[in-house]
Amino acid sequence: MAIQIDHPCVQHKLGIIRASDTGHKRFRELATEITKFVCYEALKNIKTKEVIVQTPIAEARCRKIDTDIVVVPILRAGVGMLEGILELVPTARVGFVGLYRDEETKKPVTYYERFPGQIEGGTCIVIDPMLATGGSTVAALDLLKSSGAEHIVVICIVTCPEGIELVEAAHPDVKIYAAAIDDRLNERKYIVPGLGDAGDRLFGTSN
């Protein structure tokens, strides 16, 4: 299931981050801000427990998160979303997946993976600004599940029907949260209208 976050603040920031004249510094700031909003929605129903807190006046019944949270950026662009989630959930642990596309087979190949043990029994959040073809996301989900993860959500800034369809076919239990579900992929497998190359725009490596 794919869920688009239509909050006016998200959509306002999305309009700025899409613009071709938004520089890499502002792009990074906006990626952090949008991620925080989308993650807020994605964790809305996370497991909590009741605790008693002593205020200066009296005891108060409060709720605290009762699960380990593990954030897994897909390298490299996913790193640009990491700060937003850690600002929201500072105690989250971080794992990493590095993938590249084999030019002959066109399939994703893993070159790096590192997960904390808390993925078993915890809640994993896979992050990547663009969920385009869906191949990298599916590969990351395959790795996480083979390592023991059961509760996973995907957070992206922009996605499209083709990518959603591939992820849903391979992992129907995983929800996708996005600021925008765009129209389609073009012949170069870029999302239309999209953001361009999110990694280049995040890190200032565009020509």
The domains of the chain are located at 2-203
For the domain with range 2-203, which CATH number is right: 3.20.20.140, 3.30.420.40, 3.40.50.2020, 3.40.50.1820?
3.40.50.2020
Mean pLDDT, to the nearest integer, of 169-176? Answer: 97
Closest by CA to 169, choosing from 206, 118, 135, 205, is: 135
Q: What is the pLDDT of residue 106?
A: 67
SS3 content of the chain, % helix, strand, coil (to 5): 35, 30, 35
3-class DSSP state of 47 = coil
Residue 175 tokens, joined? 């929800």
Cβ neighbors of 48 (< 8 A, separation 6 or more) are: 63, 64, 65, 66
**Please, are residues 64 and 40 in contact by the beta-carbon 8 Å criterion?**
no
Residue 88, classified by CB atoms within 10 Å of its CB into exposed (0-12), middle (13-18) or buried (19+), is middle
DSSP alpha helix (H) spans, 115-189: 135-146, 161-170
From the CB of residue 160, how many other CB atoms can be counted at a distance below 10 Å?
24
Mean pLDDT, to the nearest integer, of 122-136? Answer: 95
Q: What is the pLDDT of residue 207?
A: 55
Cα–Cα distance for residue pair 7/24, rounded to 1 Å: 24
Q: What is the pLDDT of residue 100?
A: 83
Residue 70 tokens, joined? 């593990």
- pLDDT > 70? residue 159: yes
User: Which residues are marked as active site?
Assistant: 101, 105, 197, 200
Cis omega (within 30 of 0) on the bond before 18? no
Mean pLDDT, to the nearest integer, of 78-97? Answer: 95
- pLDDT tier for residue 194 given thresholds of 50, 70 and 90: very high
Q: What angle in degrees, to the nearest 10, is found between the helix axes of 8-18 and 24-42?
A: 150
From the CB of residue 166, how many other CB atoms can be counted at a distance below 10 Å?
17
Mean pLDDT, to the nearest integer, of 110-121? Answer: 93
